[in-house]
Structures are given as structure tokens and as C-alpha cells.
Amino acid sequence: MALAGPGAEPASGRPCLQVQSPPESGLAGRAAGPTSRDGHGDGFGALGLFAFVLTGCGGAPPSLVVAVNAGVEGDSLKAAAREFASTRSLNVEIVDLPYANLFEKELLDLTSRTGAYDVIMIDDPWFPRLSQNQALTPLTTQSPDADFLKSCLEVCRQDGVYYALPYVGNSQLFFYRRDLMPAPATWSDVLASAKKLSTPGKMYGYVMRAAPGNPVVADFLPLFWSFGAEMFAADGAPAMASPEGIEALRFMLELGKYSPPGYAGFNADEVSAHLLQSTAAMSINWPAWVAAMDDPAKSKVTGKIEFAPLPSQKRQGVAELGTWLLAVPAASKRKDRAFEFLNWATGPDAMKRAALHGNPPTRRSVFGDAELKAKFRAFPVQLKSLESARPRPRTPRWNEIENAFGIYLSQANSGALAPDEAMRRAAKDIAGIVAR
């Protein structure tokens, strides 16, 4: 959407709505691109392949163009851009794209050096690929301040150079029914509680995402890591078919016995629906779903869901990191304005306003804000999870690797493959991807 400041108002006093054509690569590119945002899935229905742009009817050229994820994270950035435009009398245009199409459009712009965007939102697993070949502008004139959480800053740099700043501090949480069970310390505790609480057709002890691609990988990695498994060995060879990796997948299938039928096709919406309707007791989930659990209009379990860090097993439990970053393309024609906006939007005051919109912050001071802590009861646990959260492997091939790995994990959960065979096939396919 184009957000016109007072000095760039269209003649009608209102912005015009223009609907761009569906991206040409929107479907064809899915095999190698991301399929859903970790917290939500695509969720855009018939409108999912369109980008919406609000632009001033007067035809004034934009002072800044920002590429945004069409979701709760992007909603906060749009509000920030509206404020930035208004206070500076600027015409700021926002290109609002569904998750998969955002990656494709940004990759195309960065590789072709067209300079279509001045600021882009980047999901942190995309960063190694999008930062290749000096496609992003380095933050050479300043060092990020120490208020940013280290886990969020670490995914903003390549070869020691920062190319982005963290905007949304996403990391997984463990959701559980505190009225039915104590907080689980280990995955063995999770399994024991799942067995005890399950009453087929009424209550399932556990629910998880196991649809192919990103959904099943996101739910599996915390379990995988806690069992001592790694995606890659020190020499870069795929290592998921280790005894620890196979044991973790076998354990996932045990949890599947106490999950709702059809869970091998579930994404975040189905998982959250079971929690909200009181038909499942536990899950891994993302902070975006916290508010719904306490909303009487959506939830049958208000006040009954508690949030905790991820359980441990052989290793200390860690969440998967899902930070959203802001960066300036090297081909931007308005770099000074772009960096002004980037630094302003990630500053403490703007980040607090984004947090009030529902975005998890990336600054320690914002997590410690008294007003926010009173409003969001999960904030202390979110901070604890985010401090130790682990990013997905930092490789430009991650989108392809995740898709391949997710296919075999989902097949194992559906009963089509034994755990050891699923992991061996995944390792073979991923070795081929890495060797390209």
C-alpha cells in the first residue's frame, strides 16, 4: 500500500487501491521457494497471489518503496510506514505480498539489480541467499546497539558484516494446558502426559504440524536438536540419518499416536484450532497465536493455556528462531531515506508500538517495558525462548533443503516410510542439493 504523508496527499484526499497482476513465478517457483511462514501458513485464499498497492491518485512518485510480508508482522510495519510518511510529509509505497511470493519478488529484484524496493522484509532463513553477491547494502556507518538480542542480531550478518537489523523477534514456545498437567521439563514428560490425557475423539494429548515442507520441519527441529541430532556434520555432509536423528523421528511418531487423525497434513491453523477448541492439550506454536488463546471470542480455553520454553531431552531444549529482518537492497535509489526508515522502525519507540500491534520485539528494553509486560503475559517466556533460540542452518540452499527434508518427514508421519528409511532418503537428496 502507498502511504502518502500530508505533503503528498492525492487530490481526492484518499489513496487509490490498485491490484497488481499475480506474480508470474507464484506457482512455478514453489518447489524451490518457501511454502509458508512458520507461524501461520499462507492463509490468503483466493487473494493469496495478488500484491495490493495503495498509491496516491495524484501520481506523485514514491519517496520510499517497502516490500512487506502480508501478515501480522507486515501489518505493524505498514503502521510504522504510515507514521513515518505522515511525520515527514513523504509518499511511502508498500508492496504487500504473501510469504512465498515475497521471497520470489525479493530474490528477482536483488539478482537483477532493478532497485524496485528500498527496504525489504526478510525471513531470517532467506538471509544467506538474499545477501549473496553484495546484493544488500552493508551497515557500514554504524554498529547495531547492544539493546538488540544477540540471537536476533547474529542472523543479520554475513562474513562478519551486518546487512540488516532485526524487526520481529519470533521464536517457538511450548503451549500446554496448565489446568490438566504440570509444565513438562523433557520430551519424555510430554509423551507421558499425552498418553494420560488422550481420550480418542474427545481430547488428544498432543497436536503437531506434519504437512510436507516447512510445517513438519519447524515442529521437528526442536525435538531433533534435543535428541542430540544435527542437520550437517562438521565437514558439511548431511547428518540427519544419525542414530540420534532416527531416534528423534521415532519419538515424533510416538507423539503422533496421541495426535488427532490426519495430523500428517496439519499446518498452524489446524494445530491452533485444536488447542482453541479444547480438543488437544499440548503443541509447539508461535507467539502470533498467544493472544487468540485468551480471546473469549475465539477460545474455549481462556486462561488455561500456559507458555513455556521448549522441553529438553539429551540436550537442553531450544526453540527454532523465526526473526524477521529489515534490509536495504544494494540497487536502491534512495539509500539514505531507506536507512533513515530502517533505523527509525527498529528503534525502541517504534518497536514498542509494533509490539502493541502484536509483534514480538527484538530489543531487550522493549521486552522489559512495564506496560507491555502487563498487557502480554507471555512476554517473560518469549524473552527466555528468544535468548537461546537457534536459527535454521545458515545456507543459501535452505529453502530447497527444507522442502526435501519435509517431504520425507511427512511421509514417515503418514506411515508411508519407516523412520530410518525416511532419514536415509532425506540425507541422499540433501547431499545432492548441497553438491550443486
Convert the pLDDT of each residue in 425-435 to its tens digit: 999 999 999 99
Q: CA-to-CA distance for 404 and 425, rounded, in angstroms? A: 9
Burial readout 180-199 (b: 16 or more C-beta within 10 A, e: otherwise): bbeebeebebbbebbeebbe
Q: CA-to-CA distance for 434 and 150, rounded, in angstroms? A: 28
Q: How confident is the model at residue 36 (pLDDT cuts 50, 70, 90)?
A: low
pLDDT in tens, 82-102: 999 999 999 999 999 998 799
Residue 285: the pLDDT is 96
The domain ranges of the chain are: 2-170+321-388, 173-320+397-435
Q: Tell me the β-bridge partners of 136.
A: 329
- The identity of residue 37, as a single letter, is R
Place of cell 541422499: 428
Joined grid coordinates for residue 80: 510504522
Task: Judge residue 52's burial from the number of C-beta atoms within 10 Å of its C-beta, 0-12 exposed, 13-18 middle, 19 or more buried.
Answer: middle
DSSP sequence for 104-122: HHHHHHHHHT----SEEEE
Q: Quick check: 66 pLDDT over 80?
A: yes
Beta-strand ranges (E) seen in 252-320 are: 282-285, 305-308
Q: Quick check: 413 pLDDT over 90?
A: yes
Q: CA-to-CA distance for 125 and 102, rounded, in angstroms? A: 13
List Cα–Cα distances, 407 to 77, 243, 254, in angstroms.
33, 20, 19
Average pLDDT over residues 375-381: 96
The answer to whether 78 touches 94, Cβ cutoff 8 Å, is yes
Check for a shared fold between 2-170+321-388 and 173-320+397-435. yes
CATH class of 2-170+321-388: alpha beta
List Cα–Cα distances, 167 to 120, 276, 343, in angstroms.
11, 28, 10
- The identity of residue 380, as a single letter, is P
Residue 33: the pLDDT is 52
* Of 69, 114, 77, 101, nearest in space to 3 by CA: 77
Contacts of 425 (CB under 8 A, 6+ apart): 408, 417
The answer to whether domain 173-320+397-435 has CATH 1.20.120.1730 is: no
- The residue ranking higher by pLDDT, 327 or 36, is 327
Residue 201: the pLDDT is 86
pLDDT in tens, 276-304: 999 999 999 999 899 999 999 999 999 99
Strand 161-162 relative to strand 52-56, pairing:
unpaired
Q: How confident is the model at residue 16 (pLDDT cuts 50, 70, 90)?
A: very low
The answer to whether 283 touches 207, Cβ cutoff 8 Å, is yes
Joined grid coordinates for residue 249: 523421528
Residue 142: the pLDDT is 66
Q: Nearest 5°: phi and psi at 280?
A: -150, 150
Q: CA-to-CA distance for 42 and 35, rounded, in angstroms? A: 7
pLDDT in tens, 383-405: 999 999 999 999 999 999 999 99
* Of 74, 72, 92, nearest in space to 82 by CA: 92
Residue 34: the pLDDT is 57
Q: Quick check: 17 pLDDT over 50?
A: no
Q: Output DSSP code: residue 126.
A: G
List Cα–Cα distances, 19 to 13, 53, 233, in angstroms.
20, 6, 47
pTM as predicted: 0.86
Taking all residues of the chain, what is their mean pLDDT, rounded to a whole number?
A: 88
Q: How confident is the model at residue 42 (pLDDT cuts 50, 70, 90)?
A: very low
Rounded percentage of the chain residues whose pLDDT exceeds 90? 81
Rounded percentage of the chain residues whose pLDDT exceeds 70? 86
pLDDT in tens, 203-228: 999 999 999 999 999 999 999 999 99
Residue 200: the pLDDT is 84
User: 246 — alpha (psi -120 to 50), left (phi > 0) or beta?
Assistant: alpha
Average pLDDT over residues 177-190: 98
Q: Is 264 helix (H, G, I), strand (E, B) or coil?
A: helix
Average pLDDT over residues 4-28: 35
